[in-house]
Chain A
Amino acid sequence: MNSKPEHIIRVEDLGAFVQPKEFLLTNSEQELVAACKAGNRIAQKRIYELFSGKMINVCRRYVNDMDQARDLMHDGFIKVFLNIQKFREESSLETWVTRIMINNSISSIKKEIKKGIKVNIDDVRLKETETVDFDLVQKQPITAKQVFEKMKELPIGYRTVLSLYVLDGYTHKEIGSQLGISEGTSKSQLAKGKRMLARILKEAYL
């Protein structure tokens, strides 16, 4: 005896399967992706609701303005849905969507990033031997939102490389090819960015 899936109504008279407008989604990513590939608007909405909260923060790591970040996120999701056929399920859907968001964000502000990296940041003159005692800082009850806000105070070059390397898992080689800079520059920006963030957090919360 065939078990009837919840989302299918059998029309006995017609002898055919008719899919109703309301598609009862399961938690399976595969079903969501399959439905999206078929152009199901409800599945698209479900994916948007699942990931938009995280993706807006991904975009906000690279642009300060909330509205600009929202535009970038929307553009990113449009690319996701228009290119969903290319998703090969080799990684999780979230990883794939995140990559698209990052690439989209960086493409839109590439000029600004390059300009920021090239500018000699002398706002904080850190000597090479200067270190920040971070052990105390990390023991403070600092929320994620507070850390996020403080990250936005970093110059765009530091912030971008820090986000890509620490939070998004890019290698220095990938960062270099993404931003059009050398691996050495990427490493240098990362080191300076971490020192600066540590100092900002220490000054704010200690």
Chain B
Amino acid sequence: MTNNKGNIEEFLRKRMEGLENELQGDWSAFEKKLDRAIYFRRVRRASFVGTLTVLMGLVYFGGNYFQYRSAGSDVANEEMMPNVEQVITEDSGIEEVSVGSVVTTTNDIVDQPVASSHTETKQINDLPSETEETTSSISSGVSEALNSVFPALASAASDVEASEEEATLLALADENESSDEQQDFIRDFGNETPLKLGWKSFLDNSDLEMKKGSSGQTHLDLGSMSGIDVGSTFIAVRSPISPVKIKKQKTGPYISPLQESSPWSYSLNVYPNFTFRKFKVDEDKRNLLHRDFIDAVEVSEKGGFSLNVGLEISRRIGAIVYLNTGVEYISYNTNARFNFSHFREANINGVTGEIESYTLKGEPEQITFSDNNAYHYLNFPLSISYKPWASDHIRLNIETGASLLYFMSASGKSLNYKTLDIIDLSERDYNKYIASFSVKVGANYFVSPKINLAFEPTLVYFTNTIYSEDYPFYVIPYSVGLNLKLQVKLN
């Protein structure tokens, strides 16, 4: 038994070492493939950078949007806060006590009768100027004195939610902001709210302990209260009030003034689009294709630009959520450049259609032509989009959907995949309908309510090949668009 294991391995290594083939004239064919690969790598990198930029823009604008919104909601809350004085003056019933209604006593006020009805209270309330003047003169001891005299007030006030009190104080602070006297009130009373300071229960004269002072004037024994003099046995009090919850208005997403008022909108869209095709050979059917066809088509095609036009119909289904449909004319353009030597004919099996061998041609034929290949479709999209406003003029758009494409025509030149004869694209059979899915993330700039410019990178993937025949190769177009869209509202 001869051990041939080591022998054959050594034999193979020695024989195969340095075995080389000379591939003459191969560099040019390879160079085209290399150029194409470099080109697509740049497109991939550009798409990645573009997507990253858009995402960063979304994060930035989204952050600003939410910041804007939260700042706006604070303002909105304050704005929505009912002007308490107005509530009292405008409303039919007294529901709240405002700063202006803190009871102060002056000789003038004292002269007024005690309010026993709402209307009378309203009259009392209609003394804003006097009230404001006297408000500033109330010392800090008043609050403590009042609370000690009217403990029910203090406890009742504590029942009211702190946020409502703060809201009231905010509103009151705004009202009082304009004058130094009003600032003094805030300083003096600090966290004390008018609800605590005011009266919650109806007071009648019997609740008040009146004392006659040395001057002969009656005083309300309120401890260290100063500056308050009672010239009569009456103290003007307000009519009964009851605590009211100040409801904060619910704030939804920010809506720009430029947003359309009607839920339906119709617009004309115009946008350029970049398309490239993925050309794939079915491995099981490679024998059905002329070898040189695969090489020629792979290096010949480059993506191309096209201009798409469409009518879009949108229905607003939420504050900023839309359902979109419409009809578009779209075309997918590719640039085809062929430059190769047709030096062999395929010998085709008549039964199976497979290429069994090749026969060299007597004289090689140089095939050189370039053409713009275009595939025209009517597109019927259906999508849902979420469009928050980042500012008055800038609106984001996150959209996804599907569409049905109806094939209209194809124009341009290509090669017959078996014989390498030049053919017109219209000679091939195409699927009448193809479907696609799309994702779009971008931003719109509203020049006016009716015109906006959009930058919306879009990725569209087609679910089936464009050819209907049982071709041994299939072409699935990917549409990658850094779409710059001009949208004109028609209503």
A residues near B (Cβ < 8 Å) are: 41, 44-45, 48-49, 52-54, 56-57, 60, 67, 70-71, 74, 77-78, 81-82, 129, 131-135, 137-138, 142-145, 147-148, 162, 166-167, 191, 194, 197-198
Contact = CB atoms under 8 A, between A and B. Distances in A.
B23 A147 contact: no
B4 interface: yes
A132 to B, nearest CB: 6
Interface stretch (B11-19, B131-139, B438-446): B11-19
19 contacts: A49-B27, A57-B19, A71-B294, A71-B295, A77-B34, A78-B37, A82-B37, A132-B4, A143-B15, A144-B17, A144-B19, A147-B16, A167-B13, A167-B16, A194-B4, A194-B8, A197-B12, A198-B4, A198-B8
| B interface SS class | helix
Given A133-B2, A143-B15, A166-B12, 6 more contacts: A60-B21, A71-B295, A77-B34, A78-B37, A144-B15, A147-B12
Contacts of A133: 2, 4
Interface string B18-50: 111111001101110110011001000000000
A128 to B, nearest CB: 11
Given A56-B21, A57-B19, A78 B27 contact: no
Contacts of B11: 134, 137-138
A54 B4 contact: no
Contacts of B295: 71
B38 A53 contact: no
Nearest to A80: B34
B172 to A, nearest CB: 68
A131 B23 contact: no
Contacts of A198: 4, 8
A99 to B, nearest CB: 17
Nearest to A51: B20
Nearest to B4: A134
A196 to B, nearest CB: 11
B20 A57 contact: yes
Contacts of A56: 21, 23
Contacts of A82: 37-38, 41
Contact of A134 (B8, B31, B41): B8
Contacts of A147: 12, 15-16
Interface of B: 1-2, 4-5, 7-9, 11-13, 15-23, 26-27, 29-31, 33-34, 37-38, 41, 291, 294-295
A131 B402 CA distance: 66
Contact of B7 (A60, A70, A134): A134
Contacts of A144: 15-19
B27 A45 contact: yes
B12 A52 contact: no
A57 B295 CA distance: 20
B5 to A, nearest CB: 6
Contacts of B29: 74
B9 A131 contact: no
Contacts of B7: 134-135, 138
Contacts of A148: 16, 19
A60 B19 CA distance: 12
Given A133-B4, A147-B15, A194-B4, A81 B34 contact: yes
B340 to A, nearest CB: 13
Contacts of A78: 33-34, 37
Nearest to A194: B8
Nearest to A108: B283
A59 B17 CA distance: 15
Given A67-B291, A198-B8, A131 B19 contact: no
A54 B19 contact: yes
A70 B20 contact: no
Contacts of A191: 5
Given A82-B37, A194-B8, A52 B26 contact: yes
B20 A135 contact: no
B21 A53 contact: yes
Contacts of A145: 19
Nearest to A78: B37
- Residue among B20, B29, B31 facing the most chain A CB atoms (10 A cut-off): B20
A52 B37 CA distance: 18
Q: Which 7 interchain pairs have the tightest Cβ spacing?
A: A53-B20, A134-B4, A144-B19, A138-B11, A67-B291, A144-B15, A78-B37
Contacts of A71: 294-295
B4 A166 contact: no
Contacts of A142: 15
A135 B380 CA distance: 75
A138 B1 CA distance: 17
B30 A74 contact: yes
B149 to A, nearest CB: 86
Contact of B2 (A60, A70, A74, A135): A135
A48 B5 contact: no
A136 to B, nearest CB: 10
Nearest to B292: A67
A132 B11 CA distance: 14
A48 B30 contact: yes
A38 B17 CA distance: 32
Nearest to B7: A134
B360 to A, nearest CB: 14
Nearest to A45: B27
Nearest to A133: B2
Contacts of B31: 41, 45
Contacts of B9: 166, 194
A171 B23 CA distance: 31
